[in-house]
Structure 1
């Protein structure tokens, strides 16, 4: 049986549009890496220790598709590609800061579970 609460539990404007990708393993870290400015693929791999080229490529493509980053290819020899946050992507940094502050505040509790 459905109650009125069940019908109103999820906001139709945001429950299916949440930036779930921020919760994946690498997207949040890529956002942080690009916060100070554009970086090349190899420059991203340095702080993202452990990410494979395949996974980083998939993450960057998904983030570009979601409008969080721009990919700029320069016609040089050798070719050069840079990734940079869009204003839309940059707008996620504040909410990420809040989530990080919460995690720091509750670190002992989080480690228990």
Structure 2
């Protein structure tokens, strides 16, 4: 008879407070809400991308910045990097389950910003005109 060992998550029951400067959740929040983090998550919500395709989709991101962003999101468990043993090598990026949850949330913010841009630009004009 095999005995099943229950594995307890490392931080089960831990309380995290992003308002505390020492809280590790603050770093993850920064990763997810950075300019390139938001755009990477939103793009990967659309579909799986190869690196060069994702770079084209995220117009303006440097190769170095995209690589760093993807590595960080992969380390956070939000992005899955899958390398295929081919010549030339093929690498694809997709979202994990947690990544899909985060992407859904930030995509809502992206949609809201795009929808409200006329009012935001009008507020800019009013503010800049008053200055």
**Taking structure 1 as the reference length, what is the TM-score of the superposition?**
0.75
Alignment partners' CA distance in 2, 1:73 and 1:110: 46
Looking at structure 2, the residues matched to 101 and 109 of structure 1 have their Cα atoms a distance apart, in angstroms, of 18
Of 93-102 and 42-51, more deviation after overlay is shown by: 93-102
Task: Note closer, same or farther for the CA distance 1:97–1:76 as it changes in structure 2 (3 Å cut).
Answer: closer
**Whose radius of gyration is greater, 1 or 2?**
2
- Report the Cα distance in structure 1 between the residues aligned to 2:17 and 2:81, rounded to whole angstroms: 27
Residue pairs, 1:1-113, within 5 angstroms: 12-15=15-18, 16=23, 17-18=25-26, 19-100=29-110, 103=113, 104-105=115-116, 107=120, 111=124, 112=127
Structure 1 unpaired stretches of 5+: 1-11
Structure 2 residue ranges without an equivalent (≥5)? 1-14
CA RMSD of aligned residues (A): 2.3
Could you report, residue by residue, the CA deviation over 1:13-45 in whole angstroms, capped at 9, with x for unpaired residues? 231214221221201100111112211000001
Q: CA deviation at 1:49?
A: 1.3
Number of aligned residue pairs: give it.
102
Q: Provide the TM-score with structure 2 as the length reference.
A: 0.66
